[in-house]
Amino acid sequence: MRIGKWIGLFAFIVSMYILWQIRQVLLIVFAAIVLATALNQVVKILEKIRIKRGFAVGISVILLLTIILGFFALIAPKIVEQLREFTFIVPKILDQMRLWNDWLLKVLPEQVLEEIQGLRYLTQGLQNWLDTLLGNFFLILSQSLNIVLTFLLFLVLTIMLLIDPNPYRSGFIMLFPAFYRRRMDEILCKCEKNLVGWIRGTLLTMFLIGGLSYIGLLILGVRLPLINAILAGLLEFIPNIGPTLSLIPPLLLAMLDAPWKAVAVVALYFGIQQVESLIVVPLIMRSQVSLLPVVTLLSVVVFANFFGFLGVFLAIPLVLILQTFIQEILVKDVLNNWHLNQDKMQPDSNIAFVDINPTTTEIEGDSVINKD
């Protein structure tokens, strides 16, 4: 291997190492791109009614902040009240689970208990898990300054990308060969279309699931219905795993009241998921790119393992972009045209190849003079 290739390999390894070290910053940049893409749709609507882009960007950002602040201003007191109530309920939940654990130990045969080794430590393990969860929660609160600074960086990047996205888009397209730049522009347009469709469908689904959960929990008389409904709506952002996780808090709260209520909560959440799968998704998410359930589940797990909490929420948009690039570049442009590329690489059968003379090469009677 030549020294130039070794230098190139070393530069590639160093680049990958640097990118890995700044992966959290890159995720924040990608999150800003996702939000800027969503807000850009509002900006385009405002531009159609002859509002200049600068004013349209300002209106869009102010509208977003107003919605977020208004949402928290309306429900923040209730959230704080229900969170305070939840801190008092947690010990009762643990005591109830200890009673169930003791009852199971008395009812189940010894052979079953020997096969289920972890049953005896169910309560202790759950309590340790809750302690860890609460410890991380307070750790996040103690690092509120870092969270605020990260949010400000995210907001500034979003506004900068939204004001004039063309230079950044053009700069990315310039990284590709000249003959492929028009095609890359088409691929980016398709990425934007898929991303916007996914954002629109996901937001509508989150609001719908949160509303249905609140109404159902309110009818069943489950404690803390607002907190559980908000949790169900937010976790809808995480496919497959999110709906399952959102069931745990209301299920534990329902168990404190009566066993039938716990069964009713499970039936309620199962019914909501069926409504989502059979009605909501076909109607709302027609423009969304279909992802296989195994792909979505693995993407959430993998990105959570590599990138942490932020990777969980950005897993699906990242996979959507990657899938679009794979379908358009690898499948359509390379694999689907593989036979054409192979034909171009094949030598022409009509040309007779003969031994090359140092000064003259004869091909079917034509003389090509080799000038030294």
Distance CA 265, CA 263 (A): 5
**Cβ(183)–Cβ(333) under 8 Å?**
yes
Domain range summary for the chain, segments of one domain joined by +: 178-340
The alpha carbon of residue 16 and the mean position of all alpha carbons in its chain are separated, in whole angstroms, by 22
- Those residues with Cβ within 8 angstroms of residue 9's Cβ, 6 or more apart along the chain or in another chain: none
Tell me the per-residue pLDDT of 174-211, one tens digit each, with 9 for 90 and over. Answer: 988 999 999 999 999 999 988 888 888 888 888 888 89
pTM: 0.68
- In 3-state terms the chain splits into helix, strand, coil percentages (rounded to 5) of 85, 0, 15
Single-letter amino acid, residue 334: V
Candidate ranges 18-22, 243-247, 322-326, 353-357; pick with highest mean pLDDT = 322-326
Distance CA 105, CA 121 (A): 11
> If pLDDT is split at 50, 70 and 90, which confidence band does 144 have?
low
Considering just the CA atoms, what is the radius of gyration of the chain in Å?
29
pLDDT of residue 244: 81
Distance CA 58, CA 46 (A): 11
End-to-end CA distance of the chain: 30
- Those residues with Cβ within 8 angstroms of residue 246's Cβ, 6 or more apart along the chain or in another chain: 213, 228, 231, 232, 235, 236, 269
Backbone angles phi, psi at 165, to 5 degrees: -80, -15
What is the share, in percent, of the chain residues with pLDDT greater than 70?
A: 68
Tell me the per-residue pLDDT of 70-128, one tens digit each, with 9 for 90 and over. Answer: 777 766 676 666 667 666 676 776 676 667 666 666 666 665 555 454 444 444 454 55
**Cβ(217)–Cβ(229) under 8 Å?**
yes
Distance CA 202, CA 196 (A): 10
